[in-house]
Amino acid sequence: MVARVDVVVLTQNDRGEAFREAMGSVLSQRGVEPRVVVVGNGVEPDDVPAGARAVALPVNEGIPEGRNVGAAALAGAEAGEFLLFLDNDAVLPSDDVLARLVAEARRRPGAAYVQPRIADPGTGVTLRRWVPRLRAGDPGRAGVVTVMAEGVVLIRRADFERAGGWPGHFFLFHEGVDLAWRLWDLGRTGWYAPDIVIHHPATDPARHAPYFRLVARNRAWLAYRRLPVPLIPVYLGVWTLVSVARIRSRENLRTWFAGLREGLRGGHGDRRPMSWATVLRLTLAGRPPIV
């Protein structure tokens, strides 16, 4: 049976040719039935290809909420078995990529999501942050993973809906950890399939002006939302030490601590801590939920 895949792409009409190339690569896929929705985050989407749906949000709601809106736009009786969340400058380099992702998911029924290997199209480099595990030195090693690189990931729609979707109010950063932890808490897993490659330019997330504030704020929110109480100070302590060691600029470090204070003041939303059984499963899978 040909799988229906609902593809969610966000735009702010700022990537022109890269966006058109991304759309062309999706619509040329064989062996699957892709349905595409383009969500304009604060804009009316330009260059929407024929056959794709367009949704315009009056203001920029952030990446995770934009993805939620896109998934909801394709929900209902005709909804696909899978959701592909795709950055608008990511390209499927061959016309069988989506079919291979679906086949990988069907071979691994315990996996709620399948993560392909993301590689820069010019250099072939896979950034460490794109490898969803702690030991990221070998991006070609397949296996079970506990987080995801959320900009390019295939998720079973039933699992996505059961978990409650992305944490929309995060706006940007760490929403994939939150969703992955909820999926694991449902008894599911994730799978990294590095033999399936998707192209994405290697960019620095710190290019976003609110980067240091949001990564710190969302760390605090993530801890309060998903961790048992004894693990919250451990998780935040570990990431404070890591951030102090990594961030070289005093100004950026001050911004990071301001974001942490913002997160500690509240706003994290629904608190549904994972079970201790999930803590154990994540630990045995190679990444205890404190790092």
Ordered by start, the domain boundaries in the chain are 3-203, 208-284
Indicate the CATH number of 3-203 among 3.30.70.141, 3.30.559.10, 1.10.490.10, 3.90.550.10: 3.90.550.10
What's the angle, vertex CA 38, arms to CA 61 and CA 118, rounded to 5?
90
pLDDT bucket at 276, cuts 50 / 70 / 90 = very high
Given this model, what pLDDT does residue 118 score?
97
Binning pLDDT at 50, 70 and 90, where does residue 25 land? very high
Q: Which of 62, 120, 114, 86 is nearest to 7 (CA)?
A: 86
pLDDT of residue 1: 76
Confidence band for 129, pLDDT divided at 50, 70 and 90? very high
In angstroms, rounded to a whole number, what is the distance separating the alpha carbons of residues 182 and 188? 9
pLDDT of residue 135: 86
Q: Are 35 and 7 in contact (CB under 8 A)?
A: yes
pLDDT of 68 over the 80 cut = yes
pLDDT at 134: 87
